[in-house]
Structure 1
Amino acid sequence: MNWHGSWLSGKLGPPTTARWTSSSPSIRNEMMPARRRMMPDADIVMESEVKYMRNLRMGWAVLIIIAVVVVVAVAAKLYMNRSGADVSQAQFQEWMQQKADVCLLDVRSAREYNSGHIAGAINIGHTEVSAHLDKLRPYADKNIVVYCERGVRARIAQKALTRAGFSSVYHLTGDMAGWRDAGLSMETPGDRPD
């Protein structure tokens, strides 16, 4: 074996002129399989680390999404319930039988109201409640029961009335959908004489 080239050229930079002139395989080629047996392949290690990091990030992303959903659900529930108290259908019917001073406020649209409503209800859309407080002032010290089709609009109106200083504002449990499902009496504008 003869080594051609400077010893320094191989150590300081790429060996441009240094080469083995022997017919035997180079030391590098002989040692490479041994190195591979001793150390895992760098590509495999990197690939497994990348997969681990992706899975770790995906796990955190899923946990964050779940946490956000839980926080939003709890906040929505608190928002819906902080406006005031609920009154059951049975309690409301008892108030009506006792001829208690109760204002029943239907905050659905006029079209929904005209298709059928609870007897004695006043119709003011949920977005118009703040603008029509003068109509409701006579009931400021009385019980006001608010309902819509499913509850969302009634809660908005209930909150607006509470902010305006009305002290006894109740939400009818089940709203119109629950009233209808229970088979309780309803009226349409043509049912009562004006």
Structure 2
Amino acid sequence: MNIAVELFQTSPMLTMAWVVLLFLTLAAFLSSGAGKAIAAQQLTNLVNREDGVVLDIRPAAEFNKGHIVGALNIPLSKLAEADKDLERLKNRPVVVVCAQGMTAVNACKLLKQKGFEKVFRLNSGMQGWQADNLPVTKK
């Protein structure tokens, strides 16, 4: 044990490398099953080329202020019991959208537990989508 302490004290670069490696390993472990993060262009390709569906998990009030055209709104709070609405989507790619891209992780995990195989999440959520000046609708 003393050798490890001495090594870390005399080699700050090695210590930093170990910390970074530990952090990356932990991050990979925590995000497993969270669905692959994709960019807006990939979302568009999935919808247009593979009959993908956009699942917006924000509360209805936020969804009604503006959402991606054709998105299905099932708030995260109701997602666990939305089996009837979700069953028809099981064989399609599903892109989960939230406000900033963080809450979608939990929804992706839940969908994977329900048997969904092609689950993705929009990187940066609606905030990123709107920052890229991509179209939104209120219908």
- TM-score range with shorter-chain normalisation? 0.7 to 0.9
Unaligned segments of structure 2, at least 5 residues: 1-21
Structure 2 counterpart of 1:137: 87
- Taking only the aligned residue pairs, the percentage that are identical comes to 29
Structure 1 counterpart of 2:48: 97
The two structures have a TM-score, normalised by structure 1, of 0.56
Quick check: 1:111 aligned with 2:61?
yes
Asked if the contact 1:142–1:168 (Cα under 8 Å) also holds between the matched residues in 2, the reply is yes
Deviation at 1:75, TM superposition (A): 4.0
Summarize the Cα distance change of 1:72–1:131 in structure 2 as closer, same or farther, 3 Å threshold.
farther
Asked if the contact 2:67–2:137 (Cα under 8 Å) also holds between the matched residues in 1, the reply is yes
Rounded to whole Å, the distance in 2 between the matches of 1:112 and 1:75 is: 32
Deviation at 1:178, TM superposition (A): 0.4
Rounded to whole Å, the distance in 2 between the matches of 1:82 and 1:96 is: 21
1:91 maps to a residue whose letter is Q
Structure 2 counterpart of 1:147: 97
Larger radius of gyration: 1
- 61, 86, 92: which one pairs with 2:37? 86
Deviation at 1:82, TM superposition (A): 3.6
Cα RMSD for the two superposed structures? 2.1
Counting only pairs closer than 5 Å after superposition, residues 29-44 of structure 1 correspond to structure 2 as none
The two structures have a TM-score, normalised by structure 2, of 0.76
Unaligned segments of structure 1, at least 5 residues: 1-70, 190-194
In the alignment of these two chains, the number of paired residues is: 119
Summarize the Cα distance change of 1:87–1:134 in structure 2 as closer, same or farther, 3 Å threshold.
same
Deviation at 1:79, TM superposition (A): 1.8
Greater RCO, 1 or 2 (C-alpha within 8 Å, sep 6+): 2
**DSSP-derived class of the 2:134 partner:** coil
Structure 1 counterpart of 2:15: none
